Structures are given as structure tokens and as C-alpha cells.
Chain A
């Protein structure tokens, strides 16, 4: 874990030297602060009657998803909060697979954050009172990285586990349908 994030930071530093900027490490420290909450109303993949558009992607999405620290923290929490006990390293078990291209309740990061916070009726626990919103967003970002949605230079090159799963830098990017369209 630590060596993973250290490695990422080193690579990041190298990139800063060469490219001069690195948007995955951008912390928005001087930007207008974002409210620390998970929107309760963020719905799963659904139909909006009357042709209303799907709500736009929450602006926090990129801040978490392209941030090595957030992904790394998310990975650690994913293990500590026992997400791994149901979803394993993306293949699923008691809970559905997270590394594939099927999303019961939407595959957009804000939809995943809402699923974590509110729980879902077929067994997903509600974590709103157990985790901070920041932590929930971090886990959501890590979950997205399991299907290759996070930038390869932001994900950890080492898994937080003892077995033989592929490093996340090797993860194939799956197509996240419909809900993903808003994210490009």
C-alpha cells in the first residue's frame, strides 16, 4: 500500500518535471470548496419521464477519479470496510462483480457513491453513517478503477492483497453504457 502510493508519487513527480503539470494530482486547493456530501437524490440508472435529461455528472467526479491519493485511499478502505468480502477484487461473490460492464444501479461515479451511501435493496448495506462522504467518494473512485475507468497513471501499480490478481495498471477498460455517456 505505502510503497504503491509512494511509487505513484514518484512517477507523478517525474511527470511534473517533464510535463510541468499533472492533473491527477491537482487538489483544487484554491478552488471553491465542494460540499462534503453524497447527494441523496442521485438515482440509479433509470428512466426520466417526459424526456428530462439525466442529471449532469457531479463535479467532484474527476477530482476523485483522477487522483492517485483518492484511489489509493479508496483501495485501502475497500479492504478495511469489508467491501472485498462481498465483491472480492472485482469478480464478485455475495455482491455483484464490479470489474465488468454491467451496473445494476448505474456505473457513474456519483451513482456508485450513492449506492455505497444509501445501500441497495438486494443486500448492499448503507454506509452513510459509517463513512464520511470523502471516504465514500474515494471508494467509489476505486470501484470505478476496477473496470479500468480511472487513468492508468493514477491507479496503484500494486494491489492491497496477498494473492495473484493482476495489477490495476493492467486492468482492461470496460464500456460503461448509457450512464457513462454523461462522463464522456
Chain B
């Protein structure tokens, strides 16, 4: 995996020079080391990760976004017997990314557009539906959703289910009756805004962000009062400090994030008004620090020549005070993004060992290919290590926090840059990793894709794509398009890896029983041993899997595992939207990498729930 492993604090310039010589090899590791590694494992951040009550009330399982189930009935020893308990057809054929939720004997399933919300009665044989809520989003919203009409999940809190609709509404539904409690319109499809992310409820607020980084929208995150749906605060991710809610409390760690109105000054005139930096991914919450953590998307347009500057506050992570929305710190992982390397990926909250101490940390498997360990109190990067093949960056300078780019890989108009790794969907796209405090490992389902890219001037027309790039993706070194990596965040290297032929576009689930579950785009749902990655069980679903698996304790006291199959998303749009494989640029170039997918799976939407035999 690695060229070498330096243990000492090392001069970054020397490391960069060493990497310069290795043009097609992996980014050099030696620039990554700041703090010495510890022999102690990573631990759960206890306040954000309470003991498992058998429910699954939010997509990340807990505020730490661990995607870890504390249930232990299903183990490597008995998983072979896992069998179907019941199934449920969702009535949809688009990419299904959302996890089911389980709250005290009821399961809630939110579908892709048209965003049906089903409640299934787990206390009855076969789990019949109790009710379905149909929010009837505007059909036109489908035309401004960049990468399939997905929904990434609902969330339960205090008797209500909260979710977002593709056409830009946040809705609260009474969990018992299925009746709407409130509905608040936040996004405007006429400007190209949609909402696909799963909200998070923290401190009595529903946190929601927009999608549309490919449509020239201006990114924001909003907090709604959970009881009334009224706007509590809204923070933009570009523009003047007052819009971004940057004030005296804002204390970023690195000098590059300091200065007045960087959300304006790091853009060409007015570029920030249509500059992306949306919030379509994941939010975590530290109940002790009262801070939320979320990443921002790519800046727009993709063509970097049209937006000289660092493009704050795109492609980075914000820490904000949950009650006021005021920014506490920001860290930009990718300055002046060249490749659509959004930083919206999950932030996993852990207690991370540094020397003899433990610090509150964020673990972030980044889209740009680096696995970031950050101090979540101040945004300092403790380590940034490649977890796959990178040739588009040489490393991360831990003094300045800046990504070290590779000039010959920079897209310029009039030429096509070949073999950029990782490709536009990054080392990992939206699909979150799971963290097991039992093993101390982070289980990352991710991609091994490279691309050719050419850029041309993008023309801004509200409500239409604002991209200015032509992309063609293909498999990276080795030919496998997906990798499942068990990453040791302390040793900063993989414990084990599983190469997958197709891109991995679905999230992972880890359990205290010692298993890890994930799905593949040709429909295999797999259970592997959390310690060594050995395949122990698999089930062939009717459609490819990009959905989040969960585990819960049923009303009968037994452990269940659930996942929804339904191929789609950016990677699977070739099937769910019936795209033509002869055009290598189709679906922003992803089609070229998955031309064989229509031969391997078909569209669908089916919930599968498993348990051990009695």
C-alpha cells in the first residue's frame, strides 16, 4: 500500500519533493505525520454514542455517526443461518440510499422521489403497513436533481418523523398517525435547488441543507424549530461573513481560513452567488461541545478557470454552534477544487489517542482520497493519509492545512487531462463508513476510479446545469472499481481490504457481534468478519444495493438486519434512468465506468429484513 512510513515529524517540503519524483505512484505518506501514533485504540465518543437501545432513529445511528449496532446475537459463528424475515416493495425504481428507521416496534421507510413515507408494524406477522404518507413533491424537481432523485433518509425525534422532499420541503409527520404536523419550504427548484440529504435533529432543531452544486446554487444550512417548523437560523456557505454567520466566535485553526469576508474575496466578482458549497451530505453533533459538524460541496462551476481563488467556504468542514448557527471553525480540505471533490462526507466522532492522551476527534474519509483525523474542538488536522490511489495531490501540508496539488493534473481549457485519480466522485462518494468501537476500525466502502477531464466555459442559466466540464471515468489501478477498506485510524493504514469489481456506492454497518454488512451494485448483500474481512454470508437481492443497512432489536427481542435494494444514484443512473452506455460522458462521465451494469442488475425498490432461525 505505502511507499514508506516515516514516524518522525518531517519537513513537508522534503516530502513533497520525494513525491514529485514518483509521478504515477501513490501520494507520499511522510508528509502526513504530525503526531506520533499511539498503541491505544480509538474509542467511542460516549456522549454522542449512547448504549444501543435496539432502535435505529437516525441514519448515522447516533450523533457520532458511527453506524454501529450494539446488538450481539448475530455473530461470525452463526451468521451463516441468516434468513429472510419479511420483505416490502417500496413502489419505486430509483436509487434507494436511505436506511429504514426503527422506533419501538415500528419501521419507517422513506423512498426516493416521490418521497413516500411508509410505517410498517413490526409487532405483526409479515410487518404490514400501518400507513403511508405521500408528500406529492413537484414533478419538475426531477429535472434539477443532478444525480438521480435520491433521498438519504428520515430522522425520528420526540414522536415525529422528519424528512426532506426533492422539491425542497422539510416535513414533520406524526410518527403514530402518519399525519403531517408541519411543512416548511426551504429550497427553490426554479434556481436549481433540491433537497436530498437526511436531516438531523439536535437541540430541538431540525438541521437541513440544500443540494444543487452542479446547478449554480448558493449553498446553505438551516435550522428549523422541531415543534413548529419555523426557521431558527440559516447560514450560507458563501458570501459575506454576516450571511455565513461568522462573527467573533469564529476561530479557525489555520491562517488560510482567517480574514474578513473570505466567502466573497476568494471568488471572482459575484461568483459566490452561484458558487455551490451546498450541504447534501451528513451532519454530526457533539452534545457536550454543542457543536454540529458538516461538510460543504464542490464549488461551482466544475471548470476551475471560471473561479480563481480558494472558493471559501466550499469543499471543507464547518463546526457551528447548534443553538445560534454561529460558525466556530472551518477547515477547507480542498482549496480551489479542481475535480468535484465535495467534502460532504460523514464526520465520525471519536476519542482519539494522541500520545498518552485522548482528544475529541473527527474521523473523515475524504472524497479527495485522504483520511482525515481532526481535533473537533478547533479544526486542527492531526493526520491526513491516503486510503487509496491518489495522483491528483501530493499530500496535505499539516502546517498550513493545504492540499498539495499536482500541476500537470490541473484541468485547463483546450486540453484533456488524462488519468486523474481519484475521479470526480472521489475516493468515496456519499456512502458513509461505519466505526466499530469494538475493533477500533473504520469500515469504508469506497471507489477506485480515475478519469479524463476537459473543461470549457460554463454558461449560467438559472435552473439548468452549471458545470463546464466533460468527464470520462474508468477503473483505477488494479481494475477493480470498488474497495471495502477496514481502516485503522491510529496506525493510519488498512487492516484489511476487499476488492470489489463494481463501484461501492452503498454505506456500511458494523455490529458488536463482530460483523460488517454492505451491499454491492449487482445486488449482493454481504456479511464479513469485522476482524479480517472474511466473507461469511451473502444474499442476492433483486436489484443492486446502494442503501444503508441497519440492525435493530425486534418486538420479539431478536436481532434483525435490514437493507433496501434499489440501484441508482450517480453510479447507478445508467440503470435507474436507462442511460445509453455508448456516450462515455453520460451522467457526468460515470456511465463510462459502469457500462456493464445494465447486464448485471435491474431497477427496483425492495426492503429485505433478515434474522436468525429460531
Contacts and interface: CB of A to CB of B under 8 A. Distances in A.
Name the interface size band of chain B.
35 or more
Given A82-B465, A85-B466, A95 B143 contact: yes
Nearest to A95: B143
A92 interface: yes
A161 B139 contact: no
Nearest to A81: B461
Interface of B: 139-147, 214, 413-416, 452, 454-456, 458-459, 461, 463-467, 470-472, 573, 577-588, 591
A122 B143 contact: yes
Given A94-B145, A123-B143, A124-B143, A85 B464 contact: yes
20 contacts: A81-B459, A85-B464, A86-B143, A86-B464, A88-B583, A90-B586, A91-B586, A94-B142, A94-B146, A95-B143, A97-B578, A122-B143, A123-B139, A123-B143, A124-B143, A125-B464, A161-B585, A162-B416, A162-B470, A164-B472
A82 B585 contact: no
Nearest to A99: B580
A115 B8 CA distance: 64
A93 B581 contact: no
Given A124-B143, A164-B452, A82 B586 contact: no
Given A91-B580, A93-B588, A123-B144, 8 more contacts: A80-B459, A88-B586, A90-B580, A93-B573, A94-B146, A94-B147, A95-B143, A162-B470
Q: Which of A84, A90, A91, A102 has the most CB of B within 10 A?
A: A91
A137 to B, nearest CB: 20
Contacts of A97: 578-580, 583, 586
B140 A123 contact: yes
Name the interface size band of chain A.
20 to 34
A121 interface: yes
A164 B145 CA distance: 26
Nearest to A174: B580
A53 to B, nearest CB: 30
Q: Is the interface of B mostly helix, strand, loop or mixed?
A: loop
Q: Is the interface of A mostly helix, strand, loop or mixed?
A: loop
Interface in A38-91: 79-82, 84-86, 88-91
A123 B600 CA distance: 28
Contacts of B461: 81-82, 130
A94 B144 contact: yes
B584 A165 contact: yes
A100 interface: yes
Q: Which of A80, A92, A100 has the most CB of B within 10 A?
A: A92
Contacts of A90: 580, 582-583, 586
A102 B578 CA distance: 10
Contacts of B145: 94, 123
B576 to A, nearest CB: 11
Contacts of A3: none
B168 to A, nearest CB: 14
Nearest to A90: B583
A91 B144 contact: no
A18 interface: no
Contacts of B455: 162
A177 to B, nearest CB: 16
Contacts of A96: 577-578
Contacts of A84: 465
Given A88-B586, A121-B139, A123-B143, A163 B452 contact: yes
B463 to A, nearest CB: 6
